[in-house]
Amino acid sequence: MVTTAYSITQSGRYEPFNLQVARGQITNHRAISVFGYNGDVDTTEESVWPADGKIPHGQSASILKVSSSSASDASGGVGARTVLIEGLDANFNEVSETVILNGQTAVNTTLSYVAINNLLVMSVGTSDHNVGDINVGTGDVTAGVPAVLFDLIAATYNQRTTGHYTVPAGYTAYLEVGIFSAGQASGSTSVTGKILVTDNVSDIQRVGSIVTLNNGSVQFNFSYPILIPEKSCIGATAVGTANNNSASSYFNILLIKNDAST
């Protein structure tokens, strides 16, 4: 017989709603945490992810190519051996699969994706982490890097650090907390960070919040959470007044199913 563990006082039997959601006790509700990091933000606006440029939007669902910048990330290598991809298909429904890596040689996904919401290293060799950057995208692959990069896991991280999330079909997301931080070598420069909501149907981006920092952080606590409709995405970008900055972002999202009867 299994005895349920309660993290509440036994008189009154109260537990905070957020903790109940995190424990999977509230039907049709899910807690989503999204962390992003970019260690080299320059004077052109970039996504908060460990790559140059911005995450592509308005893409059609595609078979993706998965490869590493290191030959050590392969089925028999010392680095990452398999990677879990969690994303959305052409209808923005949630899909996932595990891919066996083959170093710098691209391996095609079985499924087609219009967006990626998570990447996780699932098995490793003796290094205990991915040796190179594990890249996921489309087009020609050169030294393990696809022409169009959808997402990646930076070397040694074992999971993606991409400040971006796309809401699945049939759900509405509510942004409760957003955090942006930045660091610079110079005290006279700054980094501007944005939280952007993108309608993937019209491809229109709208600014949810914006802040300019010099070696600091800001937390947005939305007393009335920002509503993000299905098939839309939320992401963070950063741009510096000088080169060689770092930036990170964090989103705390409540995902609620639109139709509880399905």
More confident site: 44 or 203: 44
Which comes out higher in pLDDT, residue 50 or 60? Answer: 50
Give the H or E element holding residue 136: strand 134-142
Q: Which residues pair with 211 in a beta bridge?
A: 193
| pLDDT 10s digits, 155-169 | 999 999 999 999 999
Instruction: Give the residue from 82, 112, 83 showing the smallest Cα distance to 95.
Output: 112
- Domains belonging to the chain, first-starting first, are 33-54+164-257 (2.60.120), 62-153 (no CATH)
Q: What is the pLDDT of residues 121-134, one digit of tens each?
A: 999 999 999 999 99
Of the pLDDT bands very low, low, confident and very high (cuts 50, 70, 90), residue 57 is confident
Which of 147, 122, 145 lies closest to 134, judged by CA? 145
User: CA 128 to CA 41: how far, in whole Å?
Assistant: 28
**Helix-strand-coil percent breakdown of the chain, rounded to 5?**
0, 55, 40
Give pLDDT, residue 200.
Answer: 72
How confident is the model at residue 253, as a pLDDT? 96
**153, 135, 138, 142: which is closest to 68 by C-alpha?**
135
Exposure of 122 in the CB half-sphere (CA atoms within 13 A)? 14
The 10 Å CB-count burial string (b at 16+, else e) for 135-161 is bbbbeebeebbbeebbbbbbbebbebb
Q: Is the pLDDT score of 203 beyond 80?
A: no
SS3 of 218, please? Answer: strand
| Cβ contacts of 115 within 8 Å, gap of 6 or more | 59, 87, 88, 92, 150, 166, 200, 233
Between 2 and 57, whose confidence is greater?
57
Q: How far is CA 231 from CA 17, 37, 107, 147, in A?
A: 26, 24, 27, 25
Q: Could you tell me the strand order of the sheet in which 216-228 lies?
A: 29-41, 245-257, 171-183, 216-228
Instruction: Provide the token pair at 73.
Output: 């990330």
Q: What is the pLDDT of residue 16?
A: 84
pLDDT category at 19 given cuts 50, 70, 90 is confident
Phi, psi of 92 (to 5 degrees): 65, 25
